[in-house]
Amino acid sequence: MNEGQSVFAQIFEFVSHKEFRRCVERYAGNRRVRRLPCWEQFLAMAFAQLTARDSLRDIEVCLSAQGRKLYHCGFRQAVKRSTLAAANENRDWRLYADFAQTLIARARPLYANEDLGLELDATLYALDATTIDLCLALFPWAHFRRAKAAVKLHTLLDLRGSIPAFIDIMHGKVHDVTVLDQLIYEAGAYLIMDRGYLDFERLYRLQQAATFFVIRAKGNLQFRRRYSHPVDKRTGVRSDQTIVLTGPKTALLYPATLRRVSYYAAEIDKRFVFLTNNFALAADTVAALYRCRWQVERFFKWIKQHLRIKRFFGTSANSVKTQVWIAVAVYVLVAIIKKQLHLPHSLYTILQVFSLTLFEKTPIPSLFQRFDTQTQLLPFGNQLTLFDF
């Protein structure tokens, strides 16, 4: 299996070239292109993600060092940094966004049965945003503060498998809650959010779409209690109430009843108050759902540490979005490989092994069997002792 093929070539066998061509044709990505077509641009940028390259010069030098092997990896000619920079600058970033969405559509069913420790068959999403700081002099389009630039990465994360179902990249001044206007609501699904998304007009749209939400309440919420339900305080739940909003605006924006759950987390000595439109769940399950929201925080931390989305290879909005979407595509592609090859290793381990073995001609499963063998701690009788007593 895959005898004579490099690991790099094997990785991109998991990509549908037909789907990629459709995305390129949709945005005329290869029109008037003489060097470095979109596929080779994607390969070069994916190589940068897989091997943690820091600049276009870095990509050029490292690929040139493997010159004899590039043809069999999908490159027809050497990659020049000026050509790659021009491609990132001018080719529509949406073709890579659409292609990443095709990978996401393949990955999510593979992780649909992941156990979250909750007895729920519904789809669970966490919505949040992370800010990537930029230099205002180099990125003047990315408005954020008076003397600071940034982009926000808004992400709707499918909690089963931590696969992003929706991503939007905006400049830093855009308020987080506006992303709710772009989502396609899924009836019966759960949307878990922090209080930065507390907008009752938009939450009422979720209610009308039969989408459940769990969100933290603000301290100044004006409401009237209609019912108090019995609770087991041993679970951490302090109160479970059915309420109506009484604020002069909120009562009109959200005219339906809400459920208010107060929960005390003893391990961090902190009290939380949640609002939800689901009245059937146990009160402690509402708190457990919100706890799952931290997966999106871990997702942001992971991609910032292990993908190249904090240092950009170009300064235009098109170049930044191209790089981020290709990074997302690589992340999802590795998740697909992990599942389809039944690799028990973490995504971090898989990426690290790939980064050092891309041009080896070893089948990917054998690569990880070899890795497991080499990482076993074997006793050596002739091992020197550091300290003799």
Average pLDDT of the chain is 90
Distance of CA 337 to the CA centre of its chain: 16
For residue 57, pLDDT over 80 is answered with yes
pLDDT in tens, 268-307: 899 999 999 999 999 999 999 999 999 999 999 999 999 9
Return the sign of the alpha-carbon dihedral for residues 369, 372, 375, 377: negative
Closest CA to 298 of 169, 155, 105, 122: 155
Tokens of 169: 């990249």
Tell me the β-bridge partners of 237: 263
How is 345-359 classified by DSSP, letter by letter?
S-HHHHHHHHHHHTT
Which residues are CB-neighbours of 263 under 8 A, at least 6 positions away? 236, 237, 238, 271, 272, 273, 274, 283, 284, 286, 287
Residues with Cβ within 8 Å of residue 139, at least 6 apart in sequence: 149, 151, 315, 320
DSSP for 126-192, written as a single string: EEEEEEEEE-TTT-TTSEEETTEEEEEEEEEEETTTTEEEEEEEEETTS-GGGGGGT----TT-EEE
pTM over 0.85: yes
pLDDT of 383 higher than 60: no
Cβ partners under 8 Å of residue 15, min gap 6: 103, 333
Round to whole Å and give the CA distance between 12 and 14. Answer: 5
Over residues 95-119, the pLDDT tens digits come to 999 999 999 999 999 998 888 888 8
C-alpha closest to that of 125 among 215, 195, 208:
215
Could you identify the residue written with the tokens 């400049």? 171
Read off the pLDDT of residues 231-279 as tens digits, 9 standing for 90 and up. 999 999 999 999 999 999 999 999 999 999 999 998 989 999 999 999 9
Q: Which two tokens stand for residue 100?
A: 């990443």
pLDDT at residue 340 is higher than 60: yes
